[in-house]
Amino acid sequence: MNKPDVVVIGGGVIGCAIAYYLTKRGARVTVLERDRIGDHASSAAAGMLGAQVETSFPGPMVDLCLASRRMFPDLQQELLQLTGLDIEWNSAGMLRLAMDERESGELQQRGEWQREIGEKAEWWSQEQLIQSEPALSSEVKGALHLPGDTQVSAPRLTRAFARGLHILGGKGVEGAFVTGLRVERGRVKEVETSAGSYRPEQVVLAAGVWTRSVARMAGVSLPVFPVKGESLSVQVSEPLFRKTLFGPGAYLVPKPDGQVIVGATERENDTSPGVTLEGLHRLSREALRMVPELSGGNWERSWAGFRPGSPDGLPYLGRVKELSNLYVASGHFRNGILLSPVTGRGMADLLAGLEVPEFHPFSPERGERVTQSGWG
């Protein structure tokens, strides 16, 4: 019988970040991953740290996203020194593109409240845009320039957390499929897996879109559901643009090796594993609408992943009321890469018995845990 202090169920970016920060605090932590670490949504992500580009109104979610985004420059150095892995933090910034007058108006309003909360969000006319990124199509009418919204390599980030965890003495067990949670006297007594059983003091549920079915093993209802996303990538021999270009129908994320990620479709409760021709067609069309010269890019690959959604679009971060030692960190939807450091640090604090006020709006006990159709 294995007896770590904490078992984290799920080896995606969220589980690995939590385990990393817990290990830094001195806890004995084991991550249980049924497949390979980082194999699922966390590898499908484009790696945008879109605290401003992804949010339409002010509130606790923007605050959490901004707090997490601020952690990346130091985190990059910390992980590089500890693990030798570069997460490829790219500070070139983002442009949120408007393709018509209506979008221009909406984005200018968004810029106003973002400046009011102290963030940089400058409106760029078509002329200013073309000077900065000459490859943009003349269809683009203007853009909100968001220099603070940066990007990283999502697969490298997950790997770096996992390697850091290992170096600091934590464990990641691959091929450990959690099949049961044995509950006794109001707490999870035992975590049963295909690779043996564990009796930890505390359990963290970070199983992405599968959180709902694992929670049910302990009699807990958490309505996390899948939102499928398809993406593709092309290779360009010379960089066509430096900033991440975020349009109304797709985004283009340039990577250091000449790769451009084109993402992503969004289909709620679609659990089919493949990539559709329709999805690829739509992404290619939107990409060429923004940067026509991308048509000369060489096709590389396509993939699909499942974002963990929640009914109100916010993540669940905290302890579940039914059980005294079961915590959840899931439902990060489109922002799990961005939110991973703040989630990891905050969950490590919570498990150590500290108050984390910035997590209050994300309590698993908020509102009704409305049940959605979907997996699990």
Q: Which secondary structure element, helix H or strand E, spans residue 304, and what is its range? A: strand 298-309
Q: Which stretch binds ligand FAD (CB under 6 A): 121-129, 139-147, 201-209, 320-328?
A: 201-209
Shortest distance, CB of residue 172 to ligand FAD, whole angstroms?
11
Positive or negative, the CA dihedral 369, 372, 375, 376 is positive
Alpha-carbon gap, residue 316 to 198, rounded angstroms = 24
Shortest distance, CB of residue 75 to ligand FAD, whole angstroms?
14
Contact code string over 245-284 relative to ligand FAD, x by CB under 6 A: ------------------xx--------------------
Type of residue numbered 305: G
Positive or negative, the CA dihedral 193, 156, 362, 165 is positive
Q: Which stretch binds ligand FAD (CB under 6 A): 18-26, 94-102, 195-203, 300-308?
A: 300-308
9 binds ligand FAD per the rule CB under 6 A:
yes
Q: Which stretch binds ligand FAD (CB under 6 A): 10-18, 180-188, 283-291, 362-370?
A: 10-18
Helices (H), the chain: 13-24, 41-44, 60-83, 101-116, 126-132, 154-167, 211-216, 277-290, 336-351
Q: Which is nearer to ligand FAD, 41 or 188 (CB)?
A: 41
Contact pick of 24, 34, 156, 345 for ligand FAD (by CB under 6 A): 34
Q: Which stretch binds ligand FAD (CB under 6 A): 123-131, 167-175, 302-310, 317-325?
A: 302-310
Question: Is residue 203 classed exposed, middle or buried when 0-12, 13-18 and 19+ CB atoms within 10 A define those classes?
Answer: buried
Contact pick of 163, 243, 332, 369 for ligand FAD (by CB under 6 A): 332
Shortest distance, CB of residue 95 to ligand FAD, whole angstroms?
15
End-to-end CA distance of the chain: 28
Beta-carbon neighbour count of residue 226 at 10 Å?
A: 24
Judged by DSSP in three states, 329 sits in strand
Give residues 75-114 in contact with ligand FAD (rule: CB under 6 A): none
- Which residues bind to ligand FAD, rule: CB under 6 A? 9-15, 32-35, 39-42, 44-48, 177-178, 206-208, 210, 214, 229, 231, 263-264, 305, 307-308, 330, 332-338
